[in-house]
A and B are shown apart, each in its own frame.
Chain A
Amino acid sequence: MAEPGVRNGEKVVSWGRLAGVGQVVSSENLEADSQGAALSRGLGRSYGDSSLPARPGDKIVQTPLSDRILAFDPVSGLLRAEAGFSLVELNRLFLRRGWFPPVTPGTKFVTLGGMVASDVHGKNHHRSGCFGAHVTWMKLRTADDRIVTCSPHVNTDLFDATVGGMGLTGHILEVEFRMERIPSPWIWMESRRVPDIDAYIRGLKDAGPHWPMTMGWIDCVSRGKKLGRGILMAGRWATPEEAPRDPPAEKRKLRLPFDLPSFAINPLTVRAFNELYYRRHPRKVRTGIVHPDSFFYPLDAIHDWNRGYGRRGFTQYQCVLPDEAGLEAPRLFLELLTRLGGASPLCVIKDCGAEGRGLLSFPLPGTSIAVDLPIRDNTQAVVDALNAFVIDKGGRIYLTKDGFTRPEHFRAMEPRLPAFEAVRKAWDPEGRLKSAQSVRMFGA
């Protein structure tokens, strides 16, 4: 019998369209709902299996109805809110008041709890680090059903394992972090074409010291001299003099109302799309004011863009290749990807700064590359081959995007894993908190 607020045997789907079955609980009272639950889940934008139940009977708490702001101090910028509070609301309320989160991922359909659990990074990672670096306090429900607070100074082991810990150390109930003052709610952006991957890496390194935000799209199907050509973007908040008088309007969203057939995205269409996208940008440097939504969240403009990959869905492969691996490492990665036939319409590249304190936090100084891989029969083989390359170069992958990495591969690329496992064991000796990903990757 259905109880209000509880959905038995509900299908839970990730953004990459992997699915699991759970007992989903959802209400305005996260503190009560989280009792005895195996995993928390926000807006379901993680690509792989990190927000999917480990077993069909597992209780999963869905957090977005718990979305109250609990305090905001306009002097210090400290904001405290319930974990289901979303970046959509945050930006809607605070952009026009001159505040912005210190770090934002590439989608605004993410909750505060999710931003902590994934320790998200943004276009300003080389300067501002991950989101966790700006978190000052958290309230969690731990596996033994206690309510515990932690911060960079209190229960630090729990804090460090929770930041980037994929929700495996406790249910995040409340988060406090420091917002950033912005001079205007508009972005000043400069973009230019880059002819190949080597020039790209040099361009990112050169732009880093001058621009707070950098990133780029690359064409990862072109070969030879054109390999890794693309568009490099750098931005900063516009000054009040440069900015338009009106605050940015809410952008209208397009929807993809049905699944495209799985064959719609193939090497030919991807090649054509990339050619067009590259040519659309003028030869010379383009500068000007842009809407923060199109700068930070270009893909949010199409609401259900994941349907473009058809019913079988897709996975994203995101790795970081450390600077020590040499500036040619990204080129070798793209060459390997091309050889494996991993045509991807979306390929995003970004340089990363220092490693954060989160024990499983993704970035390290180097270059991050993210590519979409439509699910095909050979996807596991492609991921295996890419992982072997990344391990060889001393890099690692981003758990939030992953649904295919083998446990021995992850262990090989993550020297901090034993430290994380020790904290997890200390706070959850019976292994009550788990996801499909944790069981696949860590064995529990």
Chain B
Amino acid sequence: MRAGQIITAACTMLLAGLMLMGCGGEGDKPAQTATTGSESQADTSPIRVGGLIDLSGPTSSVGVPYADGLRAAVRYINDNGGIGGRPIVFDLQDTAYNVQQGLSLYKKMVNTDKVVCIQGFGSAVTEALVRTQAKDQVPNFSASYSAHLTDPRTAPYNFFISADYSTQLRAALKYFRSQWTEARAPKVAFIYPDHPYGLAPIPAGRAYATELGYEIVGETNVALNAIDATTELLPLKNKAPDFCWVGGTTPSTSVILKSAKNIGMTSVFFTNIWGTDETLPALAGADANGSFSNQAAAVYGKDVPGMKIIEQITGGKPQMTHYVRGFVSILTMAEAMKRAADKGAVTGESIKDAAETLRDYDPMGLAPLISYFPDDHRPNMAVLLYTIKDGQLTFVAEEILDRRADWLGH
């Protein structure tokens, strides 16, 4: 037998042997802390939480304030006794909205640093981690609000604190329909980027608009990085929609509002949660006035108990609504951790189980009441509607929908 064949055979056998060894290498659950029920009473060891946020990528303009909110809430929790005396150690890392980077950071956090929970951000990374987190039993409290992530059959370890994009669109449609007084059917149009985030709620919006008796008069795509939307809006203007849904981000919303004003559109524009924040009046100027938006958290300065804490932490310096949502995300996670600690060990699995026992949890008034169920991870069916009046986000109404089973995951 030639030397090459002998080497090949030896390598094959070695490979087979090593693969068999590899079989048992990762048997223990990576996201488990060392504590047990009896130990936890005197346990002051930190509970490790990972943060996978876009701090330098395309969505970093909202990722950075969101991350600030997360950090502030962790400090608040730790200053107030932590989780049954155990502090949260929060390792916040930048994914740059890059899936590969997010995946690599996640593996390090879970397998090397032994985090028990993740605070995530961004559709691409959150969705790429869905399967891995289910396998590792590590919950992800993410800021990616796609409806399919609320279905525990698809994403058993995903939680978020805002109504999903589809629910938000439905709630706004319901609100405007309830305010409609004319005899004819209201006309609605959808404006969104041809992007997973933009497309996610559109089928739900179309179906519910039809159900409510809207007339859908048109749809158009405006890219997230558009600098003008006149071409896209002109065909819509001819159809004279009463309402226009804008499913982009703040920069694209400002472009749409300015272009609409330029061509004399008189429709009421309403936006998805990432389409409006405190920067919109600065970007669109007076053209932003009168537009509506869906939000999931109180704006800075609202008279609720949680806002007093945020004002104290920030020394009265106004923060964006994304900051408040980050704060709520940590509060909700901490509540689940506290419940898990009361029962025994704080592990990814116990946090998930505890989160699923939350019923009308009040994050100090900063967001609508939150509940998760084992077969339904929609935090609530409530959406806060704001309008921009004199350059300020002004609360209009809280619209609450029925928790319809056929809407779960869609």
* Chains A and B come from one and the same complex: no
**A-side interface residues toward B, CB under 8 Å?**
none
